[in-house]
Amino acid sequence: MSQEELLVLVYKKDERAFTHLYDMYSKSLFSVINVLVKNREEAEDVLQEVFVKIWKNIDSYHESKGRFYTWILNIARNTSIDKLRSKNFNNSQKNLSTDNFVNHFEDSSKLSDKVDTIGLQEFVKRLKPKCIQIIDLLFFKGYTQQEASDELAIPLGTVKTQNRNCINDLRNYLKV
């Protein structure tokens, strides 16, 4: 089933479409979520939440504004960041036992090999060092632009401009 055919069925709220939607995008969305959340169980919960949001909010997607994959990727990223900022998540991370820390860090290091399922990091590595730093903070670590500004000790406007320029460079590499 093509993406266009799938979208027609999703707009109609055809239940078969949900299964196809999940099959097509769950692995790549999960890898993005898991990089941000760094907890497999929480990432699975966020993934479910993301698919519910996609299903419920499909009417807000407009092809003229961008690609469908970009739209759902932004939902996944934003939902992950919301999860990270939530009070319950922060409290649960504070209450981890010391036994969990070793496993927690081991899982994160194993994940780094699997994260790049769409090959994006290879293109990011071709960018200027400043771009790599900004994209890493904003997209792979989930920082806000203000947080990236604070982290890099540069003005917020500079972060915004460099981010836009870096994304344009990345688009040129990807020929999008």
Domains and CATH numbers, the chain: 3-91 (1.10.1740.10), 101-174 (1.10.10.10)
The gap from C-alpha 122 to its chain's centroid, in whole angstroms, comes to 17
Higher pLDDT, 138 or 43: 43
Residue 89: predicted pLDDT: 57
160 pLDDT more than 80 = yes
DSSP 139: I
Residue 104: predicted pLDDT: 46
Output the pTM of the full model. 0.53
Instruction: Write phi, then psi, for 37 (nearest 5 degrees).
Output: -80, -35
- The pLDDT tens digits for 22-72 are 888 899 999 999 988 888 999 999 999 999 999 898 888 888 888 888 899
- How many Å apart are CA 96 and CA 109, to the nearest integer? 18
Q: Is 21 helix (H, G, I), strand (E, B) or coil?
A: helix
Q: Is 126 helix (H, G, I), strand (E, B) or coil?
A: coil
Higher pLDDT, 120 or 11: 11
145 pLDDT more than 50 = yes
- How many Å apart are CA 171 and CA 176, to the nearest integer? 5
Inter-helix orientation angle 145-152/156-174, to 10°: 110
Lowest mean pLDDT across 76-80, 94-98, 118-122:
94-98
As a 3-state breakdown, the chain gives helix, strand, coil percent values, each rounded to 5, of 80, 0, 20
Residue 107: predicted pLDDT: 47
113 pLDDT more than 50 = no
**Predicted confidence band of residue 116 (pLDDT cuts 50, 70, 90):** very low
Higher pLDDT, 16 or 174: 16
Paired tokens of 63: 């092809």
Residue 85: predicted pLDDT: 82
Cα–Cα distances (Å) from 105 to 38, 100, 101, 118, 136, in that order, read 9, 9, 6, 24, 19
83 pLDDT more than 50 = yes
Q: Using CB atoms within 10 Å of the CB of residue 47, give its burial: 0 to 12 exposed, 13 to 18 middle, 19+ buried.
A: buried
